[in-house]
C-alpha cells in the first residue's frame, strides 16, 4: 500500500518549485510513461491501478487503488498509470542542424505542441528563455505525447545564447519577409515569441532575418497561434 508521504511527494511535483527541489517530475498515461521508460530518463517510481499494463520493462510498478491514483494525479480523470522520473540535465545544443528558440512562451499546451513538432521535424535542440513555461508542467507533458523524450530542452538567457550563436538567427514577425521566398540555409536558429506580445525587443535586436507567414484571409485575424506558426515555418524550413 502506498504511503501518505509518497502521495504527498507526488502531488507536490505538480508545482514547479517542488520539481526543482527534488529534481523529479510526474508523467501520466500509458503512452507518455511508456515513451519515457524506454528513453534515457531515469525512473524513480511507477504507480498503477491496473497491473496488467505491459510497458515492456523490468521496472517495478507499484499497485495502488484508483482513489490513491486520483490523489496523486493532476488530471480530473486520472489515467491508469503514473510515473515519477528524474529531471535530466540539458545538453549544450550544437549547431549541426536547426535549433528552435522560444521567447517567453507561457501556455503549457503551446509548449507541449512545439516540443512534439520539434520531434516530428527532427529538431534535436529546443532552447527556452528563463521565463518560458516549465517543460515538465503536467499539461505540457500531456501535450508532448512522449516527444519530450527525444528533444533536448534547455532554459537559458537568450541574449547571451544568441550573441554567441555561429549561425543565422531567424525570427517570426508579422512584418517579416515572406518565408516562402526566403533563402533558408541548412542550419540556423528559429525564434518564436510570446503568444500576446511576440518576440521581445531585447531578443529582436539579435535577430538576423525577420520572416513571416503571409495572410490570405480577412485581416480581422490578428495572428496565428504560436504552435501553428511554428509548424508552418518548420515545414517550410525542411521543405527548402
Residue 142 sits in a domain of what CATH number?
3.40.1280.10
The span from the CA of 123 to the CA of 133, in Å, is 19
Instruction: Classify residue 92: in a domain, yes or no.
Output: no
**Exposed/middle/buried for 186, CB within 10 Å: 0-12, 13-18, 19+?**
exposed
Contact 146, 114 (CB under 8 A): no
Q: Is residue 107 part of a domain?
A: yes
Span 4-32, average pLDDT: 95
Q: C-alpha grid cell for residue 44?
A: 524513480
CB atoms within 10 A of CB 63: 12
Same domain, 76 and 114: no
Tell me which residue has cell 520493462: 57
In a domain, 91, yes or no: no
Evaluate if residue 182 carries a pLDDT over 90. no
- My answer on whether 122 and 191 are in the same domain is yes
pLDDT at position 219 is 66
* 225 occurs within a structural domain: yes
pLDDT value of residue 79? 83
State residue 75's pLDDT score. 86
Q: Are residues 109 and 183 in the same domain?
A: yes
Whether residue 206 sits in one domain with residue 135? yes
Coil, strand, or helix at residue 239?
Answer: helix
Instruction: Please check whether residues 130 and 203 belong to one and the same domain.
Output: yes
Q: State which residues form the domain around 74.
A: 4-86
pLDDT at 69 > cutoff 80: yes
Instruction: Note whether 58 and 107 are same-domain residues.
Output: no
- Same domain, yes or no: 227 and 117: yes
Residue at a domain's end among 51, 86, 121: 86
Same domain, 77 and 120: no
Contact assessment for residue 237 and residue 182, using Cβ atoms and an 8 Å cutoff: no
**Do residues 101 and 190 make contact, with C-beta atoms less than 8 angstroms apart?**
yes
Contacts of 222-227 with C-beta under 8 Å, sequence gap 24+, read 223/174, 225/110, 225/195, 226/105, 226/107, 226/110, 226/114, 226/192, 226/193, 226/194, 226/195, 227/109, 227/110, 227/113, 227/114, 227/117
Among the three residues 54, 86, 118, which one is the final residue of a domain in this structure? Answer: 86
**Do 76 and 189 fall within a single domain?**
no
CB burial readout 22-43, b (16+ within 10 A) else e: eebbbbbbbebbbbbbeeebeb
Q: What digits encode the pLDDT tens for the residues 92-135?
A: 999 999 999 999 999 999 999 999 999 999 999 999 999 999 99
Residue that finishes a domain, picked among 56, 86, 116: 86
The answer to whether 129 touches 161, Cβ cutoff 8 Å, is no
As separate numbers, helices (DSSP H) first and strands (DSSP E) second, the chain gives: 9, 10
Q: Which tops the pLDDT comparison, 218 or 175?
A: 175
The CA-CA-CA angle for residues 7, 8, 11, to 5°, reads 85
| Same domain assignment for residues 108 and 218 | yes
Say whether pLDDT at 222 is over 90: no
CATH number for 17? 3.30.1330.30
* Domain identity same for 74 and 103: no
**Mean pLDDT on 202-220:** 89
Domain count across the chain: 2
**Does the reported pTM lie above 0.75?**
yes
The residue ranking higher by pLDDT, 5 or 220, is 5
What pLDDT was estimated at residue 27? Answer: 95
One domain for residues 121 and 224: yes
Whether residue 16 lies inside any domain: the answer is yes
Query: Sorting pLDDT into bands at 50, 70 and 90, what band is 50?
Result: confident
Q: State the pLDDT confidence band at 220, using cuts at 50, 70 and 90.
A: low
Whether 93 is covered by a domain: the verdict is no
Residue 94 lies in a domain: no
What integer is the mean pLDDT of 73-94?
91
Amino acid at each position: 500500500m502506498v504511503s501518505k508521504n509518497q502521495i504527498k511527494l507526488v502531488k507536490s511535483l505538480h508545482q514547479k518549485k517542488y520539481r526543482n527541489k527534488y529534481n523529479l517530475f510526474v508523467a501520466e498515461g500509458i503512452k507518455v510513461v511508456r515513451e519515457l521508460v524506454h528513453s534515457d530518463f531515469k525512473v524513480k517510481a511507477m504507480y498503477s491501478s491496473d497491473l496488467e499494463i505491459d510497458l515492456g520493462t523490468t521496472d517495478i510498478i507499484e499497485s495502488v487503488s484508483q482513489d490513491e491514483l486520483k490523489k496523486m494525479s493532476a488530471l480530473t480523470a486520472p489515467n491508469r498509470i503514473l510515473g515519477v522520473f528524474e529531471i535530466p540535465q540539458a545538453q549544450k545544443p550544437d549547431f549541426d542542424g536547426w535549433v528552435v528558440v522560444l521567447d517567453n512562451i507561457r501556455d503549457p499546451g503551446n509548449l507541449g505542441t512545439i516540443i512534439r513538432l520539434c520531434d516530428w521535424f527532427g529538431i534535436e535542440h529546443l532552447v527556452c528563455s528563463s521565463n518560458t513555461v516549465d517543460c515538465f508542467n503536467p499539461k505540457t507533458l500531456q501535450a508532448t505525447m512522449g516527444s519530450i523524450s527525444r528533444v533536448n530542452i534547455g532554459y537559458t538567457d537568450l541574449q547571451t545564447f544568441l550573441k554567441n550563436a555561429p549561425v543565422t538567427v531567424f525570427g517570426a514577425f508579422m512584418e517579416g519577409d515572406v518565408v516562402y521566398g526566403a533563402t533558408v540555409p541548412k542550419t540556423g536558429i528559429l525564434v518564436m515569441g510570446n503568444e500576446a506580445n511576440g518576440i521581445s525587443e531585447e531578443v529582436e535586436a539579435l535577430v538576423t532575418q525577420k520572416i513571416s507567414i503571409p495572410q490570405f484571409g480577412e485581416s480581422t485575424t490578428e495572428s496565428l497561434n504560436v504552435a501553428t506558426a511554428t509548424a508552418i515555418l518548420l515545414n517550410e524550413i525542411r521543405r527548402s
